[in-house]
Amino acid sequence: MTDTILEVDGLSVDIATPRGTLHAVRDISFSVRRGETLCLVGESGCGKSMTSLAIMDLLPKAAKRNARRLAFAGQDLSKASKRQINALRGNRMAMIFQEPMTALNPAYTIGNQLIEAYRQHKNASEAEARERAIFLLSKVGIASAAERLGQYPHQLSGGLRQRVMIAMALMCGPELLIADEPTTALDVTIQAQILRLLADLQRELGIAMLLITHDLGIVARIADRVAVMYAGQIVEEGPTASLFQSPKHPYTQGLIDCIPVPGRTVPGGRLGVIPGVVPSLVGDIRGCSFRDRCSRTQPICSQAPPVYETPDGQRWRCILEDAA
């Protein structure tokens, strides 16, 4: 059995728009090992969601996926049939969306949805599926789980709905969980509870998790490894401790400087914000995509940046910072 659950090599996502082709994801490569948490971070619009949707084969119609290799547990997803993908999705790989109502059907009870998803994939009896649904609802911290089964999604609070979606994602015992900003739609206090729950379940059940977020504070707490995305590319990737202690790419350094730290103030009393705007994703980006916002930019940055790597697997794309 391979140690790598997800292999992404040379993944691109192009979206047809009235202004031309938008290259939302540009030739990215990363892998997720069994049982680890990889966080994909970056500002809004950098291509995080398109990456997760491309992996799950859930891209919108206008978007096209291309990859040298995209494999789940050694199985090449780009060559898999619709039937094979459907057998994996919601079963061996599951997704938690930003907004629970994306995944929950308002017309069916919670129980109906949890039970049907399980029976469909596992060929289980209604009683077995019901028992598992109650077990998982309790596991995600929902009291009176058996009674909740008869309720509809609109009868639950946002936090409870997100717990139900986590239970639904876990029903079939997935080996990989993709969570796309799973707490964005929730109140700040609930966000922390849900993230703690996810991190605890991931560890306890030994599931691999690809967690998408723009919050580096969360990443520092729960990631084993981090991949930093900027303008559709991964500009830096590595073990969490290395990346936080010694960020190599100026964009990663800028993001880390933006993390609120008690007692740290910045000139003018505001938290750090990286000045400037992300380049247009329509058409090619020549040279380093971050160079217009980088405080260290030099004429040489108009050349395509090389990829450097340290022995512990920290990789980055910046011509100004070599691995020596």
Ligand X SMILES: Nc1ncnc2c1ncn2[C@@H]1O[C@H](COP(=O)(O)OP(=O)(O)OP(=O)(O)O)[C@@H](O)[C@H]1O
Binding site for ligand X (CB under 6 A): 15, 17, 22, 24, 42, 44-50, 60, 62, 214, 281
Q: For the CB of residue 60, give the shortest distance to ligand X in the complex, in Å.
A: 5
Q: For the CB of residue 110, give the shortest distance to ligand X in the complex, in Å.
A: 26
In three-state form (DSSP H/G/I as H, E/B as E, the rest C), the secondary structure along 208-225 is EEEEEECCHHHHHHHCCE
CB 133 within 8 A of CB 149: yes
Q: For the CB of residue 306, give the shortest distance to ligand X in the complex, in Å.
A: 25
Q: For the CB of residue 264, give the shortest distance to ligand X in the complex, in Å.
A: 25
CB atoms within 10 A of CB 219: 25
Alpha helix (H) residue ranges in the chain: 48-56, 82-88, 110-122, 126-139, 145-148, 158-170, 188-205, 216-222, 240-245, 250-257
Q: Which is nearer to ligand X, 45 or 283 (CB)?
A: 45
CB 68 within 8 A of CB 76: no
CA–CA separation, 54 and 52 (whole Å): 5
Q: Which is nearer to ligand X, 42 or 111 (CB)?
A: 42
Look at phi and psi of residue 18 and say left if phi exceeds 0, alpha if psi is from -120 to 50, else beta: alpha
Q: Which is nearer to ligand X, 45 or 313 (CB)?
A: 45
Which residues are CB-contacts of 44 (< 8 A; sequence separation ≥ 6)? 214
Q: Which is nearer to ligand X, 202 or 213 (CB)?
A: 213
Structure tokens at 209: 């998790």
Q: Which is nearer to ligand X, 22 or 133 (CB)?
A: 22
Q: Which is nearer to ligand X, 15 or 243 (CB)?
A: 15
Of 96, 85, 97, 27, the residue nearest 56 (C-alpha)? 85
Q: Which is nearer to ligand X, 111 or 254 (CB)?
A: 254
In the block, residue with structure tokens 């059995």? 1
267: exposed, middle or buried (Cβ count in 10 Å: 0-12, 13-18, 19+): exposed
Q: For the CB of residue 251, give the shortest distance to ligand X in the complex, in Å.
A: 14
Residue 108 DSSP SS3: coil
Q: For the CB of residue 281, give the shortest distance to ligand X in the complex, in Å.
A: 5
Q: For the CB of residue 282, give the shortest distance to ligand X in the complex, in Å.
A: 9
CB 216 within 8 A of CB 258: yes
Q: Which is nearer to ligand X, 208 or 281 (CB)?
A: 281
Q: For the CB of residue 173, give the shortest distance to ligand X in the complex, in Å.
A: 27
CB atoms within 10 A of CB 105: 12
